[in-house]
Amino acid sequence: MARNTQVNADHNAPPITQTLARFVATHPSRGWSDAVDHEAHRTFLNWLGCAVGAAHHEAAEAALAAVQVLEPAPQATLAGRTERVDIASAALINGISSHTFDFDDTHLKTIIHPAGPVASALMALAEKTGASGRQVIDALVLGIDVACRVGNCIYPDHYDRGWHITGTTGMLGSAAACSRLLGLDTEKTAMALGIAASQPVGLREQFGTMTKPFHPGGAARAGLMAALMAQQGFTASPRAIEAPRGFAQVVSPKCDWNEINGELGERFEISFNTYKPFACGIVIHPSIDACAQLRERGVKAEDIERLELRVHSLVLELTGKKEPVDGLQAKFSVYHGCAAGLIFGRAGEPEYADDIVNRPDMVALRRKIVATVDDRIDEAAVEVTAVLTNGTSIALRVDHAIGSLERPMTDAMLARKFHDQADPVLGAAQVEALIQACWGLGQAGSVQALVELARLRS
Amino acid sequence: MARNTQVNADHNAPPITQTLARFVATHPSRGWSDAVDHEAHRTFLNWLGCAVGAAHHEAAEAALAAVQVLEPAPQATLAGRTERVDIASAALINGISSHTFDFDDTHLKTIIHPAGPVASALMALAEKTGASGRQVIDALVLGIDVACRVGNCIYPDHYDRGWHITGTTGMLGSAAACSRLLGLDTEKTAMALGIAASQPVGLREQFGTMTKPFHPGGAARAGLMAALMAQQGFTASPRAIEAPRGFAQVVSPKCDWNEINGELGERFEISFNTYKPFACGIVIHPSIDACAQLRERGVKAEDIERLELRVHSLVLELTGKKEPVDGLQAKFSVYHGCAAGLIFGRAGEPEYADDIVNRPDMVALRRKIVATVDDRIDEAAVEVTAVLTNGTSIALRVDHAIGSLERPMTDAMLARKFHDQADPVLGAAQVEALIQACWGLGQAGSVQALVELARLRS
């Protein structure tokens, strides 16, 4: 028997689905500043480097093996691999790869990783439709705007409830981006958003398993299929996002509609996207940064008598693992991050290999680190004092780690990060050409050349 | 920055995911009564008739057109159609068709339509693997048990919040059924349930659009792919259903774990499945039934001076449309339902055609119906008084409509319903053979013959 009970429903929500659809369908190409357009290129490049880097991880291998049961048509490229699969499956697999190392982008206000769902769907679809690079960049900016604005509307309550917000807003970003790329009108774009709204993908309980990176992949696929279905006349509620029993109100007790409507077409959320320099949780980044700075000042591991950290309590709560025994545990160890910063000056995926984690000099240095909690220090900051064997000491403070909005990674750093991840897969020469293709994407008449460079030649 | 806030989390939930996985993986074949086994056959037959009946509806056409963009491999049959597509897409399309007319089965305790997500995935997978009919029936019983038990756990709060519970538990039922059919062990079945748990499909806001029947289809596909991924070693949380940030606690404030664990393997939820005799919301069924009974007693439309209904207020709240102008509106009109019952003795999909809705005798009879609200009458009951032109009157009361658990449709009625839906698509002779194949499914060495009969020969 149908029931009509719903607590605290907001029956007067503005027409969010329609507003977003019109924005996505009609906003002018490159209708934003050069800075926004450049950030879109940085976002795409960072995403692709991550996808190539994890292309042969066992998560991608297992997902691809399942997809192969479907005998997919060879329509679209898998970054860093030889196989081609249908576009929906390519969106899935590339989305999984791009998030596997948790090394992709972060929209800090919502902790959404926006490129995974959006770019993974776009690259697959663009390869099939023969889209221009400009169309891809346009769709990327608009799709990420949709996902992050919906995220702003429901964060933090939605995330606190247990949803993995990357995959539970990402299907809307993917649907928006793919609708734009397909040239759908406002009405059909609204239908695509509506079909996607019924398919949030992601629970925080999955963190630490392969299903975590599945979330952006699943969202990419769901949004892509939603756009294809809308194109063919499939219908959904035109108020699917905002209605009392629509997406936002169902998945979050907090719905701030102004976060979606405010400054739409003027403020672009991709402007606030950030990229991780280090392959671990963002809470460790200031400490790694500080230790890498010590190294730049000439401090060596063997000079260290004791390394003192003062950090916010959250840092030790989340990453207080003192004696990690493998790479997975090391990701949750601020001690390991500091040791890597001081010994290697970096903490990429290679510095989380099991043999590095267990190297005697790393173990020894980790044991010299003493962390103290001080909640007067911001979560994004750290104070480090290196007490040296010669009796002197060096102190420094990091207020914003490299990679933050205040101290963004430079383009050169992003290219270096790309090489670090992708060279072992594709070789340095192909990777360099691929990086250049990413920087030039907005000017490219087609995505074909870039896609060819992203593929592993057999 | 990661947040740890969650209100009212239950950290002591029993190991639901593990328990269900072990049950699905290890419960003996046909480990239930003959009555349960027969109900499984009735469920499968009713599902397939609905899927064939709506196979050429515009919802199925649009979804299939989108799937064709993927150039799917011809792996599996679409009920009532000539095309073959990959097994995941077949699960999707058959799931959509089976729910399009809202004429499929209902687990009344949760108003889940359980066959759509489960049987749609099973038939596609069984055709590919060459499973026996017995394996399919076993998997159907177990998959429906999982979906409905999880539904019992979270209903009604989950539904009240706005979720379309058929698609938001169906992916678990589909994953369970497909895991069983693939012969996955307990551990891998738990992973399949875990991967599926991240993918609830369905919002009540979509009611009245094609995305409503998309929900069981999307859930069927999600569960099938989850099982394939688990088979290949893809991982998920082993507590994905019950953990504080797992499925159940995230989507419902109410989680009664005993609804899942209680009498597991003894009480089978498929026993409580029901089938609609009439192609409309269940709240109208008692009134249609009563009017059909008047017709059986010899009352004709032209004898009617006035037809008085006494019903629970919910009936008019949901289906009070007095002057419907087309079939879609007529589905929400208890008046139309009564007129169809009296004039045709039935209210199948043909009685909701636009031209029937606008036929003068139907319009005239609807206008003679007076409905009165009386909340002392149960939602499942009705009191009808026909005041005739000759001055006499006939009163009758229906406490449980035909199709309810108390007055189930007979096997013959189900076969007739199947014919009514499927004959226009496949022809009566092929349909009769198909019906016989459904009744004999549990004894069939393979599903192949049944699947061939479900296909439209070009």
Per-residue DSSP letters for A329-341?
HHTTBHHHHHHHH
**Contact call for residues A203 and B196 (beta carbons, < 8 A):** no
Q: Pick the residue from chain A with its C-alpha nearest to B68.
A: A228
Q: Pick the residue from chain B with its C-alpha nearest to A219.
A: B199
Beta carbons of A206 and B218 less than 8 Å apart: no
Across chain B, which distance is largest between two alpha carbons, in Å? 79
Q: Is B5 in the A-facing interface, judged by CB distances under 8 Å?
A: yes
For residue A156, cis peptide bond before it (omega within 30 degrees of 0): yes
Q: Is B72 in the A-facing interface, judged by CB distances under 8 Å?
A: yes
| Predicted local confidence at residue A52, as pLDDT | 98
Kindly report, residue by residue over A277-306, the tens digit of the pLDDT: 999 888 899 999 999 999 999 999 999 999
Q: Pick the residue from chain B with its C-alpha nearest to A70.
A: B86
CA distances from A457 to A424, A428, A453, B372 (A): 14, 14, 9, 74
Q: Give this complex's ipTM.
A: 0.94
SS3 A77: strand
State mean pLDDT over A155-164. 96
Partner residue opposite A240 with nearest CB, options B205, B229, B234: B205
| Alpha carbon of A457: minimum distance to chain B alpha carbons (Å) | 23
Q: Is B243 in the A-facing interface, judged by CB distances under 8 Å?
A: yes
Across chain A, which distance is largest between two alpha carbons, in Å? 79
Beta carbons of A75 and B71 less than 8 Å apart: yes
| Predicted local confidence at residue B32, as pLDDT | 98
**Rg of the Cα trace of chain B?**
22
| Alpha carbon of A31: minimum distance to chain B alpha carbons (Å) | 30
pTM greater than the 0.90 cutoff: yes
Beta carbons of B164 and A198 less than 8 Å apart: yes
Beta carbons of A198 and B204 less than 8 Å apart: no
Which positions in chain A touch B243 (Cβ < 8 Å)? 205
Which positions in chain B touch A199 (Cβ < 8 Å)? 199, 201, 218
CA distances from A105 to A101, A215, A338 (A): 11, 15, 22
Report percent pLDDT > 90 for chain A: 93
Q: Is A379 in the B-facing interface, judged by CB distances under 8 Å?
A: yes
Residues in contact with A37: Cβ distance below 8 Å, sequence separation at least 6, in sequence order? A30, A137, A141, A442
Partner residue opposite B211 with nearest CB, options A58, A194, A380: A194
Beta carbons of B162 and A282 less than 8 Å apart: no
Asked whether the predicted pLDDT for residue A4 surpasses 80, the reply is: no
Q: Is A280 in the B-facing interface, judged by CB distances under 8 Å?
A: no
**Distance from C-alpha of B120 to C-alpha of B116, rounded to nearest angstrom:** 6
If you average pLDDT over every residue of chain A, what do you get?
96
| Predicted local confidence at residue B46, as pLDDT | 98
Residues in contact with B179: Cβ distance below 8 Å, sequence separation at least 6, in sequence order? B21, B24, B25, B188, B189, B192, B193, B227, B230
Q: Is A229 in the B-facing interface, judged by CB distances under 8 Å?
A: yes
Beta carbons of A240 and B65 less than 8 Å apart: no
Beta carbons of B198 and A201 less than 8 Å apart: yes
Q: Looking at this protein, which amino acid is placed at residue A90?
A: A
Q: What are phi and psi of A369, to 5 degrees?
A: -95, 130
**Successive 10-residue mean pLDDT values, chain B, 458 residues:** 61 97 98 98 98 97 98 98 98 98 93 97 98 98 98 96 97 99 98 98 94 98 98 98 98 97 98 95 93 97 96 92 91 95 94 96 97 94 97 96 95 96 97 98 98 95
Nearest to A447 by CA among A39, A117, A26, A44: A44
| Predicted local confidence at residue B332, as pLDDT | 87
Kindly report, residue by residue over A344-361, the tens digit of the pLDDT: 999 998 999 999 999 999
Kindly report, residue by residue over A18-38, the tens digit of the pLDDT: 999 999 999 999 999 999 999
Partner residue opposite A66 with nearest CB, options B202, B228, B246: B228
Alpha helices in B130-257 (DSSP H): 133-154, 157-161, 165-182, 186-197, 211-231, 247-251
State mean pLDDT over A394-402. 96
Q: Looking at this protein, which amino acid is placed at residue B242?
A: E
**Distance from C-alpha of B387 to C-alpha of B300, rounded to nearest angstrom:** 12
| Predicted local confidence at residue A458, as pLDDT | 77
Asked whether the predicted pLDDT for residue A401 surpasses 50, the reply is: yes
Placement of tokens 């449309």 in the chain? B321
CB atoms near residue B74 (< 10 Å) = 11
Beta carbons of B71 and A86 less than 8 Å apart: yes
* CB–CB contacts below 8 A, A to B: 227
Q: Is A291 in the B-facing interface, judged by CB distances under 8 Å?
A: no
The one-character DSSP state at A304 is: E
**Contact call for residues B252 and B161 (beta carbons, < 8 A):** yes
Q: How many CA atoms lie within 13 A of B160 on its CB side?
A: 13
Beta carbons of A205 and B167 less than 8 Å apart: no
Asked whether the predicted pLDDT for residue A3 surpasses 50, the reply is: no
| Predicted local confidence at residue A6, as pLDDT | 61
The band of A5, judged by pLDDT with boundaries at 50, 70 and 90, is: low
**DSSP calls for B356-390:** HHT-HHHHHHHHTEEEEE-TTS-TT-EEEEEEETT
Q: Pick the residue from chain A with its C-alpha nearest to B112.
A: A1
Partner residue opposite A234 with nearest CB, options B63, B72, B282: B63
Kindly report, residue by residue over A195-227, the tens digit of the pLDDT: 999 999 999 999 989 999 999 999 999 999 999
Beta carbons of A250 and B199 less than 8 Å apart: no
Asked whether the predicted pLDDT for residue A50 surpasses 50, the reply is: yes
For residue B213, cis peptide bond before it (omega within 30 degrees of 0): no
Q: What residue ranges define each of the domains in chain B, with the CATH number in brackets?
A: 16-276 (1.10.4100.10), 282-398 (3.30.1330.120)
B window 308-347, beta carbon within 8 A of A: 314, 317-318
Q: Is B210 in the A-facing interface, judged by CB distances under 8 Å?
A: yes
Which positions in chain B touch A218 (Cβ < 8 Å)? 198-199
The residue length of chain A stands at 458
The band of A85, judged by pLDDT with boundaries at 50, 70 and 90, is: very high
Instruction: Pick the residue of B164, B187, B188, B203 with the most A CBs within 10 A to test the interface with A by mutation.
Output: B203
| Predicted local confidence at residue B2, as pLDDT | 43
